[in-house]
Structure 1
């Protein structure tokens, strides 16, 4: 089977998509455009700043116990939610500092934005449903029931992190910083491989499989059987690039150029990983239904390999 999009054309489409105003809107933003009067320039207010409560402020008693359980699940997901995970990742691998760090999709920035319509599953999602999606896609597992200890504890932890934040308002540092984030040139696999070798392989391994100590991931795998699957948001290049730019290399976020962040995001996302659980039985049909965007490499051919076919690359 051939790629629906030749890789050179895909790169050009990515650049065009990144230059389109619609591509600049953060994923979670549901804000209306500011009004203008008589042709006056539109003024956009900066998102409000917010700081989550300190971990030391978790209360005593049953409520505090539930908050602490949610934090434990978040930072050691296979250890505390093993029935629902299919890989070795922790929630905190993509939501850094136990879900506290700005610009790495912190929990306090997400909780107040739900309920929210999600095109991904075509209906209004509660926050609990959003968490279920993380288990299904990022954790390559199965969705815990909404009334399960796992979902209730994670919701409680997120609620506590967001205490005092306005609801329905996108906060500064929520999500990944995608606004206006464009590569000067189309993302390139070969350039990305060089960035990866220089900046990423030390922690994540030359083979992208991360590093483990005592059977637990210290640095997560970025592709392969133990990584996120083809349905996870991180498989889309713009999401990965924004996360990488803001947060990687670890403790040195913001040091990569925009081009390097996009290139290495493409390189990472151009490797095989577990199948999208929405797979229809045909890669091209699955791409057409769920991955019809130049930001997804699913269903395209890289170095002669059809991504999403499940074969090792």
Structure 2
């Protein structure tokens, strides 16, 4: 993997000392045994083809373009992006890594009914939602070259998989409920210990050479309130499996829940489905204990949105 690509992968939406380390950053301090849990054994995941296997033909050109868009949508899909994130901030290693919602785990599962919008979604529609919510932008038309290239990349990566079968490593792990309810103060302590090195003390990430190498976790350049990562259980599963970058499964489950709560208890861009009031929007789209939208944390009601969007 090329160094620059490694840096981008590092930019993954990790919540801990991150999935990413920059060339100039100090190496994360090893955790004491009290902070470490043994990694559970996982079933062997599907092995997607490598970048070097992309065919050298017109089809391969679309695969390669899809990969470029996935890694750097700000450059290759600029018209549809509204923040500084990239697709692989939440789907590591260019959408290849198991337990970080890999593309090969999603593509064979569509069309599928989604409770989020209460109808059967095509894979293209699923991608449109990523642009609208995670990228805080707007959905490309279904026949747009951006979606065609992304679908081609996902299809190529999934070749040889059974259709409609949920394989090991698909999505994010489902963590059991924590022994103690997630807590902001404990989460803040985990963030300072394991995440701030990459994501900054203020959670706004880091940029180098005009590009985001460590993603912002909240604020105007992060995902909006409609994204799946705003749900604490989703964030906790991602963090547990993948954070800090390269050292997944080293946080305790409780730490993962706490720091996910801390991250999601910060303001971010408004849900594009906003109904005119926070209460109505929560009732329509966030009426679950996993969402902090519309709740009050540290005396502040969440869901106000951030400047700009």
- Quickly name the TM-score band, shorter chain normalised: 0.7 to 0.9
CA gap 1:311/1:273 in 2 versus in 1, 3 angstroms = closer
Q: What TM-score do the two structures reach when normalised by structure 1?
A: 0.83
Runs of 4+ that moved beyond 3 A: 46-49
Q: What CA distance in whole angstroms lies between the structure 2 residues aligned with 1:78 and 1:243?
A: 23
- Counterpart in the other structure of 1:290: 285
Q: What CA distance in whole angstroms lies between the structure 1 residues aligned with 2:201 and 2:178?
A: 25
1:153: how far off?
0.2
Q: Does 1:228 align with 2:223?
A: yes
Q: Does 1:272 align with 2:267?
A: yes
1:306: how far off?
1.1
1:110 to 99, 106, 111: 106
Q: Is the 8 A contact 1:237 1:266 kept in 2?
A: yes
2:77 to 69, 72, 81: 81
- Counterpart in the other structure of 1:308: 303
Q: Is the 8 A contact 1:47 1:171 kept in 2?
A: no
1:170: how far off?
0.2
Q: What CA distance in whole angstroms lies between the structure 2 residues aligned with 1:220 and 1:202?
A: 12
CA gap 1:66/1:282 in 2 versus in 1, 3 angstroms = same
Q: Does 1:134 align with 2:130?
A: yes
Gaps of 5+ in 2: 1-41
Q: Does 1:164 align with 2:193?
A: no
Q: What TM-score do the two structures reach when normalised by structure 2?
A: 0.84
Q: Does 1:149 align with 2:153?
A: no
1:130: how far off?
0.1
The alignment partner of 1:140 has SS state of coil
- Counterpart in the other structure of 1:210: 205
- Counterpart in the other structure of 2:195: 200
Gaps of 5+ in 1: 1-45
1:48: how far off?
7.6
The two structures, once aligned, show a CA RMSD in angstroms of 1.3
Q: What CA distance in whole angstroms lies between the structure 1 residues aligned with 2:176 and 2:65?
A: 36
Q: What CA distance in whole angstroms lies between the structure 2 residues aligned with 1:84 and 1:107?
A: 20
Q: Is the 8 A contact 2:220 2:306 kept in 1?
A: no
Q: Is the 8 A contact 1:48 1:171 kept in 2?
A: no
Larger Rg: 1
- Counterpart in the other structure of 2:238: 243
Higher RCO (CA < 8 A, seq sep 6+): 2
Q: String of CA shifts for 1:158-182, please: whole Å, max 9, x gaps.
A: 000000000100010000010x532
Q: Is the 8 A contact 2:45 2:98 kept in 1?
A: no
